[in-house]
Amino acid sequence: MHVSNLKLYRHPISGHSHRAELMLSILGLDYELINVDLKNGEHKKPQFRKLNMLGQVPVLVDGDTVIADSSAILVYLAKTYDKTGAWLPDAAVELAEIQRFLSIASHQMVKGLVTARAIKLLGKDLDYTAAINESISLLNLLDEYLNGREWMVGEQHTIADIALYTYTKLAPEAGVKMDIYSNIRHWLGNVESINGFISMNAKK
């Protein structure tokens, strides 16, 4: 187990936080989880905003280095701790494809699955119908894309798979049935078979 000063500020039901935690676990890194009390507004207080001016989780602290945003954390961890270079290859085409999926995770997935889940779990006053329609549209596209593919980019896993995994897995919590998405379910199984995989809240 790699010994480091890694601290992950997160919330237990945050899918964005799980992305970062999953990457930490797969890379075999030693890390400390620090729960942020979102309900009572801890993330909006000045002390936390020093770590992330947007007041959002997750935030990764690695010694004197502070990285906010789940996608940024995935990039940082891959470039800093993955000595194989497999998780974030340098090849231009693969790198561009990975960036495309990171963008999908930050935009279409947020408009759809993330929002629908927040409405269901947290009672957020948002447009559930619009979120579900966006969710189904994205899942249809991903299921078609994954036909004949094992991974999102190339012939092996990359951070694109980690970025898209959690909220796709949690789609039932958003009110989406996954029965018809056989290619996505196969891909989810591939991610879950990666050595070091950890499910949400598996480490308290």
Tens digit of each residue's pLDDT (9 = 90 or more) over 99-127: 999 999 999 999 999 999 999 999 999 99
Candidates 1.20.1050.10, 3.40.50.2300, 1.20.810.10, 1.20.210.10; correct CATH number of 92-192? 1.20.1050.10
d(CA 159, CA 164): 9
Going by pLDDT thresholds of 50, 70 and 90, the confidence category of residue 202 is low
> Mean pLDDT over all residues of the chain?
93
Domain with CATH 1.20.1050.10 in the chain: 92-192
Give burial (CB, 10 Å; 0-12/13-18/19+) of 134: buried
Give the Å distances, CA to CA, from 85 to 1, 66, 71, 90, 198.
19, 22, 17, 8, 21
The pLDDT score that the predictor gives to residue 38 is 83
E strands along 36-168, which residues? 59-62, 65-68
Alpha-carbon dihedral sign for residues 32, 196, 20, 13: negative
Kindly state the percentage of the chain with pLDDT values over 70: 97
The pLDDT score that the predictor gives to residue 48 is 82
Going by pLDDT thresholds of 50, 70 and 90, the confidence category of residue 203 is low
Going by pLDDT thresholds of 50, 70 and 90, the confidence category of residue 2 is very low
The pLDDT score that the predictor gives to residue 19 is 98
Residue 174: which of 142, 143, 129, 141 has the closest Cα? 129
d(CA 18, CA 101): 17
E strands along the chain, which residues? 2-10, 29-35, 59-62, 65-68
pLDDT of 39 > 60? The answer is: yes
Candidates 3.50.30.30, 3.40.718.10, 3.20.20.100, 3.40.30.10; correct CATH number of 2-81? 3.40.30.10
List b or e across 174-202, with b for residues whose CB sees 16 or more CB atoms inside 10 angstroms.
bebeeeebeebeebbeebeeeeeebebee
Q: Point out which residues pair with 9 in neighbouring strands.
A: 34, 59
Domain with CATH 3.40.30.10 in the chain: 2-81
d(CA 114, CA 117): 5
pTM: 0.93
At residue 74, the 3 state secondary structure works out as helix
